[in-house]
Structure 1
């Protein structure tokens, strides 16, 4: 299922707390700079990485698993290979009663996990990046010379 720009805009506007699974403390890794960007945009980012549990990133303690996260997470952003997605989605659905979105990063897709989440009423975004979509939909990419497809001036 492909979301429209309106769908993505709605998802990003309603999201407040994001658990980022597979985040890296290395600032050159995409998972780090995506999570950092989202935190700078006002989202509460809960970093999840068992190899760095207890460290601090983006003002939050890195958690070993989704089970260690606060229960009011409304989006899970997954930076793991596609074959690792099903147990992450299962844990997220069990852990977060008000989960609204499962977001799989660029290159990450898993039809079975997506169907499981959708069957529970959770929106699923696959093979996209919330940082890129936020910048594109809210007018920040044009500063970098990207054609966002959004008109910012009126005649």
Structure 2
């Protein structure tokens, strides 16, 4: 992998200033990582938008099927889908004009990174947003 993440200072700035997070692949199962991570971020004051065509709601928030179904601006697209799906989610991220693409720990894709870079979207890959929040922004 050749992707390059922003610096710690840049990530800290993102976490302090970008508060509306669309979570792609957010599960309604409290035992799933996406649920646990999003729960912590929600408790920390972030607005969470569940994006998953297979669930009705998470945390009492109605889920949307796609990123394009979200009304209003999205600050961060936080992705919990396998790495091979990242290019598709990157294209959707650019299409909705989101500021940040964040692929969770263990997820990275050079094709998605290159596409996002070409379209001036900041990308963070292979990092857990909850861990980075605890480490840099709490």
Q: Scaled by the length of structure 2, what TM-score is found? A: 0.92
2:54 to 37, 44, 51: 51
* Partner of residue 42, structure 1: 45
Offset at residue 15 of structure 1 (A): 0.8
Q: Which structure 1 residue ranges, 4+ long, deviate > 4 Å from structure 2?
A: none
Gaps of 5+ in 2: none
**Local SS of the residue matching 1:50:** coil
CA contact (8 A) 1:39 1:58 kept: no
Aligned residues: 135
Aligned to 1:62: 63
Higher relative contact order (CA 8 A, sep 6+): 2
**Whose radius of gyration is greater, 1 or 2?**
1
Mark the runs of 5 or more structure 1 residues left unpaired by the alignment. Answer: 140-155
CA RMSD of aligned residues (A): 1.2
2:131 partner SS: helix
The answer to whether the 8 A contact 1:38-1:131 is kept is yes
TM-score (norm 1): 0.82
**Cα separation, 2, equivalents of 1:117 and 1:2:** 12
- Structure 2 counterpart of 1:29: 32
SS in 1 for 2:42: helix
Matched with 1:104 is: 103
Deviation at residue 58 of structure 1 after TM alignment: 2.6
